[in-house]
Each structure stands twice: as C-alpha cells, then as structure tokens.
Amino acid sequence: MQTRHTPTGAVTDLSGRIQRDSEGRLQHLITLEGLSRDELNALLDLAQFYVRAVGDLPARDQSLAGHTVANLFFEPSTRTRVSFELAARRLGAEVVNLDMQSSSRVKGETVLDTIYTLQAMHADILVMRDAEPGLPAFVARQVAPHVCILNAGEAHLSHPTQGLLDALTIRQARPDFSQLRVLIAGDIAHSRVARSAWHALTTLGVGELRIAAPEGLMPTEGEFARAVRFSDIDAAIEGVDVIMALRIQRERIMHSQIPDEATYHRTFGITAERLRRAHPDVIVMHPGPMNRDVEIASEVADGPRSMIQRQVTNGVAVRMAVLATIVRNVQARRQF
C-alpha cells in the first residue's frame, strides 16, 4: 500500500483531496482538513436540526432509505460505533455491523477484499475504524463511485465526526468562537481527537487554542500550527473557556516513559481545584472512554461544568448530518 509509509502530513493532505468528487462535493469523510468554514457550519447546522433533548423521542427521517451502512471497526469502540448505527437507522438505512474478531481479516483476507465483498452486497456507506494511517484514503480510491467511506477513527491522525461533535458542543455553549480560549489537555501526540478538533476549531476561527501535554506526549513542532503550547497544566488552564481532556492512548505508545496513573493525576489531571483557575463559566469535555481520576477527576466529569453526556447526544446528531449530506451528494451526482 502506497500510503503506508507516507509521512503524516502527506497522508492527511492526500485524504483532503480524495474525499471530494469531480464537482468538489464531499463523497467521503476522511479528514476535516480542507473543509471550509461554510462547509463545517452547514454540517453543524444540520446536526443541530437533528439534536433532541434526552427524554424526547429522537429525530427521524428517511434521508437514507434504500441505503446500506456497514460498520467495520478494527479497533475497539462503544460511542462511535453505536452512534453511527443509531444515526443510520434513524435515517431509514439498513445497517450491518461486522464483528471484526470473527471476520475473514483474521483468516488473512485483505481489508480491500472485505470491502469489495460488502460492495458486492450493495453496502454503499462503509464506516471504518483502523489503527493504520492512510487506510481510509487508500480504500476510498479503490471503491466504486457510488460507495462512500466514512472515517470513524484513523490511527492517531483523524476522527472527523468527533471533531464535528466537539465543535457543535462548544458552539451550543459559546456561539462566538472568536472570543474563545480552548485548551486541549493530555496525550496530544497520539490523539486523533485532538487533531480533528484542531482542524475544526482553527477553521471556525477560535480565538486562542492551547495544547498542554506532559513530556513525551507533546506533538512535534510541525503540527498544531498557531496553537500555544504548555507543559504546565496549571498555567495552561488559566482563564480558559473550554477544556477538552484526553485519555492517554497507551495502545499507541511503544516506550514506557508515561508516569503511573496516580502521578499523572497529581501532575496533569483536570481536578476541581485546577478548574478554579479557568473562566467561571468554563465547560469541560472528554471524548470518552474516560479513565476516571487519571486524566479527569470524577467530581469534574460528573460536575455542573461537564458537557460529556451532551457530547454523546451530539454525536448521534452529527453522524446523522454527515450521513444525510454524503447521501445528498451521491444523489446530486447521479442526477448529473
């Protein structure tokens, strides 16, 4: 596979071009890189249309009637997989979830052969999560023109629907992005959530973006352009309006220079005491799964400033918006 050893920047740049059809419409969603502010806002507006309060019946329509969505998760997932499934069903699609532990990949079948098999069964929207950088873009180049690839988490690089749901959650609480100070804290180096949030928030014109990571978990200098870097969490948190806490991605870390959990919590965790340094109306977010009392204190995660459940609710609405948009673009292409 050509992209396998391509440096990070080239992989994502390539993905940005590959996700559009010849008319420039989104056919796939592989990265938020290259989406304009208008495109992001259109997706967020549509997602907002699909948001319902918990306790109300969820939004439903038939935008995906006749379509088949296949979920291929080669890495663990709870929120993302379930929310893609619910989003697709609520838009009237048929959904299949491949159990990757018992799929033919473990028997040596290539990912592409699995994809072609699904394509031959009329699955036309393939939602993929994998640890390999560049895989969604590689697959997008091989599938038939009516098939859409949605990236549900690509290595440490990209998690576009998470970036959108994070932007939507912030927009609901603080609509004026130009005034905002946003802090992303934790294992930035290995986080696709941080990278997609950075793409979304910089394009949407956030006032100041800070990243804070302990030694060994800070990304290289070439990445996160214009973000203000902090190694001290107490300094980073000073006056911020939004805090996004991240899990340490132990599964992506080869060396073992990360501190033990208690030390990490003491030196870098988002605690109630540290929160007092932020703006009084600060909101706290976490993509899940959380390691309670490691990167975030339980009393903060469950406290009044926490938006963590709201993020989950928004996740379904965002995935509905992405699915509906992609299918509308396929239909527009067919009418041409």
Contact 151, 22 (CB under 8 A): no
Q: Closer to ligand NCD at the Cβ: 282 or 287?
A: 287
Please tell me whether residue 286 binds ligand NCD under the rule CB under 6 A.
no
User: What is the total residue count of the chain?
Assistant: 336
- Report in angstroms how near the CB of residue 288 gets to ligand NCD at its nearest: 5
Please tell me whether residue 325 binds ligand NCD under the rule CB under 6 A.
no
Distance from C-alpha of 202 to C-alpha of 10, rounded to nearest angstrom = 19
What is the Cα gyration radius of the chain? 19
Distance from C-alpha of 333 to C-alpha of 8, rounded to nearest angstrom = 31
Is 285 strand, coil or helix? strand
- Report in angstroms how near the CB of residue 189 gets to ligand NCD at its nearest: 13
Q: Closer to ligand NCD at the Cβ: 156 or 274?
A: 156
Give the residue, chosen from 28, 159, 174, 195, that forms a contact with ligand NCD under the rule CB under 6 A: 159
Size of residue set near ligand NCD by CB under 6 A = 10
Q: Which residue is nearest to ligand NCD (CB)?
A: 247
Please tell me whether residue 313 binds ligand NCD under the rule CB under 6 A.
no
Please tell me whether residue 186 binds ligand NCD under the rule CB under 6 A.
no
Please tell me whether residue 79 binds ligand NCD under the rule CB under 6 A.
yes
Distance from C-alpha of 253 to C-alpha of 313, rounded to nearest angstrom = 30
Please tell me whether residue 287 binds ligand NCD under the rule CB under 6 A.
yes
| Amino acid, single-letter form, for residue 106 | V
Distance from C-alpha of 144 to C-alpha of 173, rounded to nearest angstrom = 40
Residue 161's closest CA among 100, 248, 88, 94? Answer: 88
Q: Closer to ligand NCD at the Cβ: 143 or 270?
A: 270
- Partners of 95 in the β-ladder: 69
Please tell me whether residue 162 binds ligand NCD under the rule CB under 6 A.
yes
Chain positions contacting ligand NCD, by CB under 6 A = 79-80, 153, 159, 162, 192-193, 247, 287-288
